[in-house]
């Protein structure tokens, strides 16, 4: 019997991952959890919910025990921009929370999914076609916690046989729940502002090229990795994956195909620009392709078309 616990389930990824896991395994088999109550807009996720602070070992163990959990999808984390503002809080959640989840998984024999990030790389990493195995010396607290998380995951797999798997997500673009304070949030905000006001002020420089992915691909990647034959996984944890690669100026051009009078301006936020400048421009995801058959379905054009069409049914242009 599969019984899944999702931490941080009210967030940008969790809001859509919970629904996908429930479609696959059944509503009752997936326990959503978060420190806050999910927004009404994600009530399509109706099903079991536990209020859970994943830095609290007693709470995590209690939920895992009561629901006979077999796999934990651990999404609760402080994201990159917020982590630079509150590095102590980021360490506490991203490391203590992960450690609590891994220890619980070891004791109760659960598999673990852990999302890492392109933020696990740093300025000394090769920035173009960043290899799966490359120098990782991030200069942000977010990156430090992600590298540590990747290493802890590998350690628990090797030392204790815990089935820990993970992905290095690029910036994720979606329209269900808002992003939680990352450096790539502009690529979501821009659609809301373009449809409502035909104008967006971007906090990154116009030529800041980063890897990105549309949420349907990201959710499918999680499901496919967790279902993959473990014998074929040489890396298991922290796979590079990507779907598309663009700058704010290129995204604005793609949006102008649908909203011709859309205007973008730039007011660069030095803190978030510095984070983006320390990250790869484009990662090489061939290990994921070879080991578990990864392949993205949405490129910039397909993602933009779907985002504009979906949000246009929900948002009214301002007069
Ligand atoms: N969204 C992206 O673009 C992106 C990219 C790369 C990696 N990731 C990683 O994916 C994971 C999920 O990201 P997301 O975008 O859904 O984040 P998010 O910020 O949208 O959601 C995180 C959730 O964690 C919850 N939370 C905070 N403190 C908690 C605690 N102590 N206990 C339990 N829950 C708590 C928050 O309430 C929130 O709902 C994170 O590990 C993030 O680093 C995300």
pLDDT at 138 over 80: yes
Q: What pLDDT is stored for residue 40 in this prediction?
A: 60
Q: What pLDDT is stored for residue 126 in this prediction?
A: 97
| Residue located nearest, by CA, to atom 21 of ligand 1 | 11
- Ligand 1 atom nearest residue 184's Cα: 3
**To test ligand 1's pocket by mutation, which of 82, 90, 104, 180 has the most ligand atoms within 8 angstroms of CB?**
180
Pick the closest to residue 54 from 10, 2, 119, 116 (CA basis).
10
Q: What pLDDT is stored for residue 82 in this prediction?
A: 96
Tokens of 260: 């011709």
pLDDT at 236 over 90: no
Cβ atoms 45, 38 nearer than 8 A: yes
Q: Taking CB atoms and a 6 Å cutoff, what residues make up the pocket around ligand 1?
A: 7-8, 10-14, 34-36, 52-55, 75-77, 79, 93, 97, 115, 117, 169, 171-172, 179-180, 182, 184
Taking residues 291-309, report their average pLDDT. 98
Q: Is 205 exposed, middle or buried (0-12, 13-18, 19+ CB in 10 A)?
A: middle
pLDDT, tens only, 11-65: 999 999 999 999 999 999 999 999 998 766 555 568 999 999 999 999 999 999 9
Cβ atoms 123, 72 nearer than 8 A: no
Taking residues 64-73, report their average pLDDT. 98
Distance from C-alpha of 9 to C-alpha of 20, rounded to nearest angstrom: 12
> Looking up tokens 């919970």, which residue turns up?
18
The CA-based dihedral angle spanning residues 86, 10, 30, 51, taken in that order and rounded to the nearest 10 degrees: 70
Q: Determine the distance separating the centroid of ligand 1 and the alpha carbon of 94, expressed in angstroms.
A: 9
Distance from C-alpha of 85 to C-alpha of 145, rounded to nearest angstrom: 14
Q: Determine the distance separating the centroid of ligand 1 and the alpha carbon of 274, expressed in angstroms.
A: 21
β-pair partners for 264: 200
Q: Determine the distance separating the centroid of ligand 1 and the alpha carbon of 115, expressed in angstroms.
A: 9
Taking residues 221-239, report their average pLDDT. 95
β-sheet with 210-214: strand ranges across: 171-173, 210-214, 244-246
Q: Give the DSSP H or E segment for 74.
A: strand 71-74
β-pair partners for 130: 283
Q: What pLDDT is stored for residue 41 in this prediction?
A: 53
Distance from C-alpha of 296 to C-alpha of 218, rounded to nearest angstrom: 9
Pick the closest to residue 51 from 33, 25, 76, 71 (CA basis).
33
Q: Is 142 a catalytic residue?
A: yes
| Residue located nearest, by CA, to atom 38 of ligand 1 | 11
pLDDT, tens only, 242-274: 999 999 999 999 999 999 999 999 999 999 999
Tokens of 201: 């002020």
Cβ atoms 106, 162 nearer than 8 A: yes
> Looking up tokens 């992905």, which residue turns up?
167
Q: What confidence tier does 134 reach under pLDDT thresholds 50, 70, 90?
A: very high
pLDDT, tens only, 94-110: 999 999 999 999 999 99
In the chain, what is the greatest distance between 2 CA atoms, to the nearest angstrom? 61
Distance from C-alpha of 24 to C-alpha of 26, rounded to nearest angstrom: 6
Give the active site residue among 73, 99, 142, 186.
Answer: 142
Among 84-88, 90-94, 177-181, name the one with the lowest average pLDDT: 177-181
| pTM reported for the whole predicted model | 0.97
| Residue located nearest, by CA, to atom 11 of ligand 1 | 75
pLDDT at 153 over 60: yes
**To test ligand 1's pocket by mutation, which of 60, 64, 75, 104 has the most ligand atoms within 8 angstroms of CB?**
75
Q: Determine the distance separating the centroid of ligand 1 and the alpha carbon of 79, expressed in angstroms.
A: 7
Q: What confidence tier does 88 reach under pLDDT thresholds 50, 70, 90?
A: very high
Q: What pLDDT is stored for residue 46 in this prediction?
A: 84
Pick the closest to residue 84 from 213, 280, 276, 282 (CA basis).
276
Q: Determine the distance separating the centroid of ligand 1 and the alpha carbon of 195, expressed in angstroms.
A: 26
């Amino acid at each position: 019997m599969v019984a899944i616990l999702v931490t941080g389930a009210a967030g940008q990824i969790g809001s859509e991952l919970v629904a996908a896991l429930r479609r696959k395994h059944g509503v009752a088999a997936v326990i959503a959890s978060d420190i806050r109550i999910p927004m009404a807009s994600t009530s399509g996720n109706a099903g079991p919910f536990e209020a859970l602070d994943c830095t609290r070992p007693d709470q995590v163990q209690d939920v895992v025990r009561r629901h006979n959990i077999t796999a934990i999808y651990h999404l609760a984390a402080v994201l990159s921009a917020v982590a630079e503002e509150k590095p102590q809080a980021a360490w506490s959640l991203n490391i203590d929370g992960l450690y609590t989840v891994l220890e619980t998984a070891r004791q109760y024999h659960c598999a673990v999914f852990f999302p890492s990030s392109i933020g696990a790389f740093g300025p000394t990493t090769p920035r173009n076609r960043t290899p799966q195995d490359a120098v990782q010396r991030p200069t942000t607290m977010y990156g430090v916690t992600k590298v540590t998380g990747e290493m802890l995951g590998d350690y628990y797999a090797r030392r204790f046989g815990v089935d820990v798997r993970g992905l290095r997500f690029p910036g994720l673009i979606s329209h269900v729940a808002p992003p939680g304070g990352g450096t790539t949030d502009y690529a979501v905000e821009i659609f809301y502002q373009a449809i409502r006001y035909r104008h967006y002020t971007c906090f990154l420089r116009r030529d800041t090229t980063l890897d990105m992915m549309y949420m349907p691909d990201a959710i499918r990647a999680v499901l496919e990795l967790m279902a993959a034959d473990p014998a074929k996984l040489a890396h298991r944890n922290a796979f590079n994956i990507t779907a598309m690669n663009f700058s704010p100026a290129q995204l604005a051009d793609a949006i102008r195909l649908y909203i011709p009078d859309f205007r973008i301006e730039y007011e660069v936020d030095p803190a978030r620009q510095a984070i983006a400048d320390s990250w790869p421009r484009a990662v090489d995801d061939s290990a994921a392709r070879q080991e578990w058959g990864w392949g993205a379905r949405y490129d910039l054009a397909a993602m933009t078309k779907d985002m504009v069409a979906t949000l246009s049914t929900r948002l009214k242009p301002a007069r």
